[in-house]
Copies of this chain bind each other. A is one copy, B any other.
Amino acid sequence: MTIALLGLPQDNNASYLSGPALAPQRIREALWSDSANMFTETGLDLGDPTIWTDSGNVALEGLTGQSAYDAIYSAVTQRIAQGHRLVSLGGDHSIAFPVIHAHANAYEGLNILHIDAHPDLYDNMLDNKFSHASPFARLMETGKIARLVQVGIRTQNAHQKAQAEKFGVETHEMRDLSKLADLQFEGPVYLSFDLDALDPAFAPGVSHFEPGGLSTRQGLDIIQNFKGQLVGADVVELNPLRDANGMTAMVAAKLAKELIARLVADQDASDR
């Protein structure tokens, strides 16, 4: 039962090969680049082919809205059915709705740990229910999410605050991370990591700069140390066209490596 990497080259502008749609390829290049070895910080050797597999990109060229949703949902569902646990590489954050919905249907009582500068809880953004500003509203509306915990938030407006209250979202704003050390979950956990949760100093290759964010180390610390059982994860919103010498792609690859290590560790723990 190996971990599978899955590329989701989608972006909102519906334009092939621009911005986030280029990201899965860039993250793979960083992952395999000679400038680092294949060990995670926790000592797992990702050079071992029995641990994980690259299950390619979902073909999304020309798809938007419902058709993109369907393609992603079924690709994820199929891999879960084959016994994989997944690290998905965006693409923009709109991929979270189909990816996590598929997980919620496979794992009863799914919790979401959502790391982001923005809550992405809009009820209705430009009449597009699949917008990258709304996936977590859509997910809460399914009634299948046990808890949604958001970390790194620093752009909440009145509407999003109301949505958070309506859905019982637990928000850790950047300006007060004092309780972060106690982050713990009962039951399965899905972790969704938007790169703009990080301060733009650490991740310049994103579409929207929101200063005052997490350091890369704080991001890694959450991945490695939250209490609970990780069953799936994604890294989204890399925009290679805004990157500096591939630095943000390296950050995304590092997050992906540690997420794989955490998936393996939690799986092994549950196998015992």
A120 to chain B, nearest CB (A): 13
**Contact size class for A?**
35 or more
A263 to chain B, nearest CB (A): 17
Residues of B near A247 (CB, < 8 A) are 200-201, 204, 209, 211
Q: Is the CB of B29 within 8 A of A17?
A: yes
A242 and B242 contact, Cβ closer than 8 Å, known pairs A35-B208, A43-B156: no
Of B25, B34, B212, B244, which one neighbours A204 at CB under 8 angstroms? Answer: B244
- For chain A residues 194-220, which have a beta carbon within 8 Å of chain B? 199-202, 204, 207-213, 215-217, 220
Q: Is the CB of A15 within 8 A of B34?
A: yes
Q: Confirm or deny: A228 has a beta carbon within 8 angstroms of a beta carbon on chain B.
A: no
Of B43, B155, B213, B254, which one neighbours A211 at CB under 8 angstroms? Answer: B254
Q: Confirm or deny: A51 has a beta carbon within 8 angstroms of a beta carbon on chain B.
A: no
Q: Is the CB of A217 within 8 A of B221?
A: no
A33 and B16 contact, Cβ closer than 8 Å, known pairs A199-B217, A216-B201, A251-B211: yes
Closest chain B residue to A35, Cβ basis: B208
Residues of B near A35 (CB, < 8 A) are 207-210
Residues of B near A210 (CB, < 8 A) are 35-36, 250, 254
Closest chain B residue to A28, Cβ basis: B17
A191 to chain B, nearest CB (A): 17
Query: Given the complex of chains A and B, what is the CA–CA distance between A42 and B175 in angstroms?
Result: 9
Of B17, B175, B200, B212, which one neighbours A34 at CB under 8 angstroms? Answer: B17
Q: Is the CB of A45 within 8 A of B202?
A: no
Q: Is the CB of A250 within 8 A of B200?
A: yes
Question: Interface code A5-40, partner B: CB below 8 Å = 1, 0 otherwise?
Answer: 000000000011110001001000100111111110
Closest chain B residue to A31, Cβ basis: B17
Q: Is the CB of A202 within 8 A of B211?
A: yes
A155 to chain B, nearest CB (A): 6
Q: Is the CB of A224 within 8 A of B37?
A: no
- For chain A residues 224-262, which have a beta carbon within 8 Å of chain B? 224, 241-242, 244-247, 250-251, 254
Known: A211-B216, A215-B215, A241-B246. 12 other contacts (CB 8 A): A16-B32, A17-B33, A17-B34, A36-B208, A41-B174, A175-B221, A199-B202, A201-B215, A209-B245, A209-B246, A209-B247, A212-B216
Ordered nearest first, which 8 A-B pairs have the shortest CB separation? A35-B208, A39-B157, A201-B201, A209-B250, A211-B251, A211-B216, A201-B202, A212-B216
